[in-house]
Structure 1
Amino acid sequence: MKRQKRDRLERAQSQGYKAGLNGRSSEHCPYQSMDARSCWLGGWRDARDDKQSGLFK
C-alpha cells in the first residue's frame, strides 16, 4: 500500500513540475486531497524556480 501511495504522490509532483514549466497558474491544480495537492504545488514551485534560474527557456 505504501508503494501505491508514494507513486501517486510522485506522479502529482511530476505533473506539477510540468505545469510550472508550461507557465500554468498554481490555481489550476487538479488535486483535491491535501497530500497530492501539496506535492503538485511543490513540483510547480520547483519548476518555477528552475525556470527563473535559467535552466529552461
Structure 2
Amino acid sequence: MKRQKRDRLERAHSKGYQAGVFGKAKESCPYQSVESKSQWLGGWRAAMEDRADGLVKFT
C-alpha cells in the first residue's frame, strides 16, 4: 500500500474518532468511497466504545 493512501485512510479513521468523541451520528460520515467510509466508521465505533468505557470525557 502506498504511503499516500495509508495516510488518507489513517486521517479518515482519526476524523471518525473525533466525530464519535463529540457524539456525532454515524450517518454524518462525509466519505463516499468504501475504504474511507469503512475507516471513518471504525474510528467512530472506537470512540463510542471508549465513551461507553468512560475513557473519553467531553465537556
* TM-score normalised over the length of structure 1: 0.97
Q: What runs of 5+ residues in structure 1 fail to find an aligned partner?
A: none
Q: CA RMSD in A?
A: 1.0
Runs of 4 or more, structure 1, over 2 Å off, are: none
* TM-score normalised over the length of structure 2: 0.93
Q: Shift of residue 48 of structure 1?
A: 0.2
Amino acid at match of 1:3: R
Q: Quick one: percent identity of the two aligned structures?
A: 63
Which residue of the partner structure matches residue 18 of structure 1?
18
Over residues 1-50 of structure 1, what are the superposed CA-to-partner deviations in whole Å (9 max), with x where a residue is unaligned?
A: 70000000000000000000000000000000000000000000000000
Give the number of aligned pairs.
Answer: 57
Structure 1 distance, partners of 2:51, 2:31, is 23
Structure 2 distance, partners of 1:56, 1:41, is 17
Q: Does 1:34 align with 2:31?
A: no
